[in-house]
Amino acid sequence: MLSRVTTAAPNPVSTWAPLRSPVYRALWIAQLVSNLGTWMQMVGAQWVLVDEPNAAALVSFVQTATTLPVMILSIPSGVLADLLDRRRLLLGAQSTMALLAAVLAIATATGHTTPSVLLTLLFLLGCGQALVGPSWQAIQPELVPRDQIPSAAALGSMNMNIGRAVGPAVAGVLVALSGPALVFTLNAFSFCAIVAALLLWRRPKVAREFPSERPLAALQAGTRFIKSAPAIRRVLLRTALFVAPGSALWALLPVIARDQLGLGSSGYGVMLGALGVGAVLGAVSLARVRALLTPTQQVAVAAVMFGVACCGTALLRVEALVLILLVFAGAAWLLTLSTMNATMQLLLPGWVRARGLSVYMLIFMAGQAIGSVVWGLVAGAYSAVTALLIAGALLGLAALSTIWLPMRQFVAGFDLTPHAYWPEPELVVEPEPDDGPVLVLKDYDVPADRVPEFLDAMAYVGRSRQRTGAMEWRLYRDVGAADRYVEAFVVRSWSEHMQQHKVRLTAQDLMRERAVAEFAHDETLTHLVSVGPRA
């Protein structure tokens, strides 16, 4: 069941364990190169626009052009990543981004990069990043064992933070030496590094017994899954509670560097570097932290650390002390994101993994983007110091809220491997794939003294049915028979019901059904397919 998953791994593996896998190691290194290239590109793009009229507005559009596509396309990208071969999808997207980056480099070198050309190409590159994100996250469990997923999540977060910290600094030097064209060229080659790593990965082919889901049906199925998975909704809520106030530090750090500490661009780069160093140190110490703290405690401690860093950065005037706080903030940021990401990976079965992760990515990106705007408005109305103090207080409240809204923990026996345990339907007439809706009925005989036990167990069975495809689920009592109960659920189409039978059920669902198996009247299900016009 997804709503009561309990206890953290007693002996967490090393943070570096996933790097022992040659495929994971090659892809991780390639991703690091690409992250560096992406952040270098950001600096180069801003430099191209600094001498244009309305430079302030145009420079701000650079961030919008790269992040807006992720917010718009995350969910559709998650659907595609679950329906298509993820390796081929990644290859196509990364190759296209390499081509777009090369066009940007050539246009810049030849003097044809106008603001409209630049922003258009950045928007298209952002669309590529949106397409890549869910697939990249969803392939992690294919590359490492289940017990290494938390470590892989930490390495992924560290990868991103290293790119954020190092990329702008390197780009600043390169742009000063030779201009932005070189930075754009290196970014194009960075995408080629990922393409090469993907070509070396021989992903096992998965045979399909029947056609894959249609996009709209797949989107609806993913939505139903999340609605029926309380533990996943809890992760999404906790992500929003941390990222929304936490975005204040990222948004207002340049203002603090200039106004509070009197630093220039190089000093701001050092502050970003401190956050990156903290992320690396957080990844190194993550195995020990996981051994000492539950996921709920990790999230609470990280929120307190980041909140203290926000308040300290706002109030302190000594650069060295602020840098120390930023190191702790970087570690807290990594600890939170790796915990959330790993929990999502562990809770999502393979058939819906990319869709679930796309929702997580959307909340993360929206929390940062909307939060940055809100904190900018607060800082404009009052001051950056006030905004950071408010954000720090909200992070403290987020930590306190873990008492009432804890993260779910894991048991060793939690198993989401596919398990097609339902018997094949006994059919006289073979329905067409699009026929439906399909009403499925199952009878149970329950002695009066065991009804409370049965009803409790069926609540989890009901959520299982809804996670795997049921649009509606109800449990009825047959008033014409003693102790007879009838379970009824409706699935959108015959094809989707077959997806339930063969793909979507897991060993965890089987465990829930075993709790009520002794009450089942027989081993068969009654299948009724809708015909004729609706009343």
**Over the stretch 169-216, which tens digit does the pLDDT of each residue have?**
788 788 878 888 898 999 999 999 899 999 988 877 766 666 677 888
Going by pLDDT thresholds of 50, 70 and 90, the confidence category of residue 533 is: low
Written as one letter, the residue type at 276 is G
Going by pLDDT thresholds of 50, 70 and 90, the confidence category of residue 1 is: very low
pLDDT of residue 457 exceeding 60, the answer is: yes
pTM of the model: 0.87
Q: What is the percent of the chain with per-residue pLDDT over 90, rounded to a whole number?
A: 41
Distance CA 406, CA 72 (A): 30
Mean pLDDT of the chain: 87
Written as one letter, the residue type at 46 is Q
Helices 22-49 and 115-138, packing angle to 10 deg: 160
Query: Considering only CA atoms, which of 236, 263, 492, 258 is closest in space to residue 364?
Result: 236
- Cα radius of gyration rounded to whole Å, the chain: 26
Beta bridge partners of 475: 487
Domains of the chain: 17-403 (1.20.1250.20), 438-529 (3.30.70.100)
pLDDT of residue 448 exceeding 50, the answer is: yes
Stretch 296-316: mean pLDDT: 95
Distance CA 293, CA 533 (A): 58
Distance of CA 464 to the CA centre of its chain: 22
Residues 183, 188, 192, CA angle at the centre, nearest 5°? 140
Q: What's the confidence (pLDDT) of residue 503?
A: 87
Query: Considering only CA atoms, which of 172, 183, 368, 182 is closest in space to residue 270?
Result: 172
Written as one letter, the residue type at 183 is V
Residues 6+ apart with CB under 8 A from 4: 231, 408
pLDDT of residue 261 exceeding 90, the answer is: no
Q: Is 3 helix (H, G, I), strand (E, B) or coil?
A: coil
Q: What's the confidence (pLDDT) of residue 208?
A: 63
pLDDT digits (tens, 9 = 90+) for 268-297: 778 878 888 898 888 888 888 888 988 899
Going by pLDDT thresholds of 50, 70 and 90, the confidence category of residue 2 is: very low
Neighbours of 192 (CB within 10 A): 19
Going by pLDDT thresholds of 50, 70 and 90, the confidence category of residue 4 is: very low
Quick check: bond before 76 cis, omega within 30? no
pLDDT digits (tens, 9 = 90+) for 509-532: 888 899 998 998 876 788 999 986
- Evaluate whether 469 touches 500 at the Cβ level (below 8 Å): yes
Going by pLDDT thresholds of 50, 70 and 90, the confidence category of residue 302 is: very high
Written as one letter, the residue type at 158 is M
- Evaluate whether 222 touches 355 at the Cβ level (below 8 Å): yes
Phi, psi of 480 (to 5 degrees): -100, 5
Distance CA 105, CA 319 (A): 37
Beta bridge partners of 417: none
Query: Considering only CA atoms, which of 454, 462, 438 is closest in space to residue 520?
Result: 454
Query: How is residue 449 written in tokens?
Result: 């003294």
pLDDT of residue 62 exceeding 50, the answer is: yes
pLDDT of residue 124 exceeding 90, the answer is: yes
Stretch 330-349: mean pLDDT: 91
Query: How is residue 349 written in tokens?
Result: 């079965």
Stretch 419-426: mean pLDDT: 84
Going by pLDDT thresholds of 50, 70 and 90, the confidence category of residue 494 is: very high
pLDDT of residue 9 exceeding 70, the answer is: no
Q: What's the confidence (pLDDT) of residue 60?
A: 63
Query: Considering only CA atoms, which of 440, 435, 501, 438 is closest in space to residue 468?
Result: 501
**Higher-confidence residue: 153 or 388?**
388
Distance CA 188, CA 181 (A): 11
Count of alpha carbons within 13 angstroms of residue 385, beta-carbon side = 9
Q: What's the confidence (pLDDT) of residue 209?
A: 62
Residues 146, 150, 153, CA angle at the centre, nearest 5°? 115
pLDDT digits (tens, 9 = 90+) for 237-246: 999 999 999 9
**Higher-confidence residue: 279 or 452?**
452
Q: What's the confidence (pLDDT) of residue 8?
A: 42
- Evaluate whether 395 touches 336 at the Cβ level (below 8 Å): no
Stretch 263-268: mean pLDDT: 74
pLDDT digits (tens, 9 = 90+) for 375-415: 888 988 898 899 999 999 999 999 999 999 888 765 445 77
Query: How is residue 79 written in tokens?
Result: 């659907």
Phi, psi of 404 (to 5 degrees): -100, -25
Beta bridge partners of 442: 487
Going by pLDDT thresholds of 50, 70 and 90, the confidence category of residue 166 is: confident
pLDDT of residue 23 exceeding 50, the answer is: yes
Q: What's the confidence (pLDDT) of residue 409?
A: 63
Going by pLDDT thresholds of 50, 70 and 90, the confidence category of residue 167 is: confident
- Evaluate whether 474 touches 488 at the Cβ level (below 8 Å): yes
